Amino acid sequence: MIILCTKEDLLSGVNTVQRAVSTKSTLPILQGIKLSATKEGLWFEATDLELGIRILLPVNIQEEGEVVLPARLFAEVVRRLPDSSIRIESSGHNINIFYNDSHFELNGYDPEEYPEMADIPSGDVIELPGPTFKNMIKQTVFACAVEETRPVFTGLLLQIEKEKISLVSTDTHRLAYSKSLLNGNEKEFSGIIPSKTMQEIYRLVGDEEFLNIKVSKSRVIFNFNNIQVLTRLIEGQFPNYKQVIPQTCNTKLLINTRKLLDTVERASLLSRDNYLKTNTVRFNIENSSININQYSELGKISEQLEIEQEGEDVAISFNAKYIIDLLKIIETDKVILETSGPYSPCVFRPENNEDYLCLVLPLRN
Amino acid sequence: MGQLYQAISEVEENLSKLLEEVRSLRQYVEYLEEENIKLKRQLCAVSEADTARVQKNAARIQKEAHENLEKLYQEGFHVCHIYFGEPLEGSCLFCNAFLRKD
């Protein structure tokens, strides 16, 4: 393999695929990045067997070939290369990086041992609007569970039913739901996509107008620009999320998003480090205002926020982190809060937007 | 001759015992049939009061079951089908929806 490229080319390839490099696997070769020089250009490829990312870069290929290089070291080397033209030559499993009048030799793995990231031969192809899908990911991915006791909650349920697309995530304490339209789509799909994959899609999708997804029963491939993201679907049944979304409410509030976020962030300063580690914030809603009176051994905060209120007065306790997380992704000036009491799930949604909601279950005292 | 006569007498005696037993069984069968008819009639015509009593009883049992699940949830255990019986951290949307639905 002989290629001529720039530092920018290598940096772009490494940065794109590096997060798919396995950090936990016992297979040493999965800690590598595969470089394949072909007639099309230079492919960078990494996988942890759950998620795989590939990118094709149009560089000058003098001689075709393949190498697998240790990801962390190669990335460090690339970041420290000078901004000059670079020539890479392989010899066996190793490569020589020539720059200026110097060279860096790097030992690699046997490319034959690297697992192949197979295409989906006869899957349905669905076209998604890039910016909309990216926004849907942003609105939902934060509510996924982190711990892996129930794998279905570590992913997002992607449902495509003809012209409707929805993403749902929950960690059983909160639930985020976002929907949109897929004009002209006739195909259907339902699957649970790992949150790590969605985070990568969110990171990598630029302002491309569309991204294509190719689906099968167990895998999905996202194609956009010159990047491919392959992922396994999470096996299992996503619970019936519709039954947890309240259809009625006794109290409806319209609140300034920014002011509420600031207030909750200030109040959580006193509760996040308390001995209970619950990070509780209590809203006393009465007479068109939210009162927050928080105290701990560290101090006391007393705030009042004017709101528009319809319905009964109520006092509710929340995990402050959940409220902060959701308010950070609501882009409208005002947020609607609907509740039916201190033990019922609260629905938060942006003003004038029926396509998104986030449900948070209050804390029981 | 005497032996044969004695044997016939024994058979005659056994037969008469058997006949007596059949007669008593017949009476018992008649009694059972009557009772069966009576029960069938009762079953077809359960009074509204009885129906209400049974329904009330069922509701009481259901209420008790719901209270037990509510208690289990309050004590910090999941009651939803996803995590049933496992320790609860904070609160669970699915337990909440399940208890609210019931």
| A342-356 pLDDT tens trace | 889 999 999 989 999
- Interchain CB distance below 8 Å, B93 and A344: no
Q: Are residues B58 and B102 in the same domain?
A: yes
Distance, in Å, from the CA atom of A260 to the CA atom of A325, rounded to the nearest integer, reads 12
- The helix/strand/coil state of B23 is helix
Across chain B, mean pLDDT equals 88
Q: Are residues B25 and B8 in the same domain?
A: yes
pLDDT of residue B20: 93
Domain of residue A291 covers 245-360
With contact defined as beta carbons under 8 Å apart, do A5 and A59 qualify? Answer: yes
Mutation target for B interface from A153, A172, A249: give the one with most B CBs within 10 A.
A172
Mean pLDDT of A56-82: 94
| Nearby residues of A142 by Cβ (< 8 Å), 6 or more positions away | A169, A176, A325, A326, A329
Q: Is A159 a domain residue?
A: yes
- Written as six digits, the tokens of A364 are 């029981």
- Interchain CB distance below 8 Å, B93 and A343: no
Q: Are residues B78 and B55 in the same domain?
A: yes
Q: Are residues A40 and A73 in the same domain?
A: yes
Q: Are residues B68 and B20 in the same domain?
A: no
| A123-149 pLDDT tens trace | 788 999 999 999 999 999 999 998 877
Domain of residue B6 covers 1-45
Q: Are residues A41 and A138 in the same domain?
A: no
Q: Are residues B34 and B70 in the same domain?
A: no
Q: Is A298 a domain residue?
A: yes
Q: Is A120 a domain residue?
A: no
Q: Which H or E run contains A127? A: strand A124-129
Mean pLDDT of A166-180: 95
Q: Are residues A130 and A188 in the same domain?
A: yes
Q: Are residues A213 and A293 in the same domain?
A: no
Q: Are residues B53 and B68 in the same domain?
A: yes
Q: Are residues B17 and B56 in the same domain?
A: no
Number of domains into which chain A is organized: 3
Other Cβ atoms closer than 10 A to A167: 22
Q: Are residues A259 and A341 in the same domain?
A: yes
Spatial strand order in the sheet of A299-306:
A299-306, A289-296, A280-286, A314-319
CATH code for position A225: 3.10.150.10
Distance, in Å, from the CA atom of A124 to the CA atom of A101, rounded to the nearest integer, reads 51
| A71-109 pLDDT tens trace | 999 999 999 999 989 999 999 899 999 999 899 999 999
Q: Are residues B52 and B86 in the same domain?
A: yes
Boundary (domain end) residue, out of A241, A260, A286: A241
Q: Are residues A90 and A161 in the same domain?
A: no
Question: Which chain B residue lies closest to A238 (C-alpha atoms)?
Answer: B82
Residues of chain B numbered 51-80 and touching chain A (CB < 8 Å): 74, 80
- Written as six digits, the tokens of A319 are 């995990």
pLDDT of residue A276: 55
**ipTM here:** 0.79
- Interchain CB distance below 8 Å, B93 and A173: yes
Q: Are residues A237 and A250 in the same domain?
A: no
Number of domains into which chain B is organized: 2
Distance, in Å, from the CA atom of A185 to the CA atom of A162, rounded to the nearest integer, reads 5
CA dihedral B90, B93, B99, B102 (to 10 degrees): 180
| A264-309 pLDDT tens trace | 999 988 876 655 567 889 999 999 999 998 888 888 899 999 999 9
Distance, in Å, from the CA atom of A271 to the CA atom of A297, rounded to the nearest integer, reads 10
**A365 and chain B in contact, CB less than 8 A:** no
**A170 and chain B in contact, CB less than 8 A:** yes
pLDDT of residue A259: 95
Q: Is A365 a domain residue?
A: no
Position of tokens 């990335």? A75
Q: With contacts defined as CB-CB under 8 Å, which chain A residues touch B80?
A: 239
**B94 and chain A in contact, CB less than 8 A:** yes
pLDDT of residue B45: 78
Mean pLDDT of A238-259: 93
Closest CB to B94: pick one of A174, A244, A364: A244
| B42-54 pLDDT tens trace | 877 777 788 888 8
**A123 and chain B in contact, CB less than 8 A:** no
Angle at A138 between CA A134 and CA A142, to 5 degrees: 145
Mean pLDDT of B58-75: 90
Q: For chain A, give percent helix, strand, coil, nearest 5.
A: 25, 45, 30
Q: Is A66 a domain residue?
A: yes
Q: Are residues A281 and A325 in the same domain?
A: yes
**B83 and chain A in contact, CB less than 8 A:** yes
Binning pLDDT at 50, 70 and 90, where does residue A365 land? low
Binning pLDDT at 50, 70 and 90, where does residue B40 land? confident
